[in-house]
Amino acid sequence: FIGDKGFFSKENIAEFNSENTLKYIIPLRRNSTQIDYETIGCGDKSRFGGFFLFESKAIWHYEKLIDNQRVIVFLDDILKGIEQKDYLQRIEKGYESYSKINFLEKQHSFGTLSIASNLMDIQPELIYKYYKSRNEIEIMIDAFKNILFADRTYMHGDFEMETWMLISFISLIFYYRIYNLLLD
């Protein structure tokens, strides 16, 4: 299960963990108390667990084990610079709730993505890639609904529904094969 930040709660995590076969990747909100920004705050990359390249960017990571779940913090220095610049521009423009004091409180969270997961044997790079691939799934669902017009079934029975799903699924496969041929 790959969720968005809104899915993270103690109740949801307990439910996921009650099913021993259900694996999850759920990002945490940046203000979550489960995230330890001390490693980032010290500025010493030797305290990180390592790095990998993703879309030509270095992604640094470290992790902690909290209540039998991994909390992996990823740092993208390029994104950090962009987010800091954006925040400082909002201070200069006088946006409400943007201030130097708030900037200093949030400075270590810029450019970070923290993920809670019960995938213990998978490398952080793969967890990061799984999470980032969720956008591709959303694009596929969008094509399913808007290009194939498969967002409404109008079916009245189980047999018709199963047939409709099979035809829609095969149509989606054909759509992406043609799409990939056009891209090539």
Residues 18-38 pLDDT 10s: 777 788 899 999 988 888 899
pLDDT per residue over 89-126, tens digit each? Answer: 999 999 999 999 999 999 999 999 999 998 889 999 99
pTM more than 0.95: no
pLDDT band, very low/low/confident/very high, at 57 (cuts 50, 70, 90): very high
| Distance between CA atoms of residues 54 and 132, nearest Å | 10
Q: Give every CB contact of residue 34 below 8 A, 6+ residues apart in sequence.
A: 28, 66, 71, 114, 116
Q: Which of 85-89, 105-109, 152-156, 157-161 has the lowest mean pLDDT?
A: 152-156
The 8 Å CB, 24+ separation contacts for 59-64 are 59/125, 59/128, 61/124, 61/125, 61/128, 63/124, 64/36
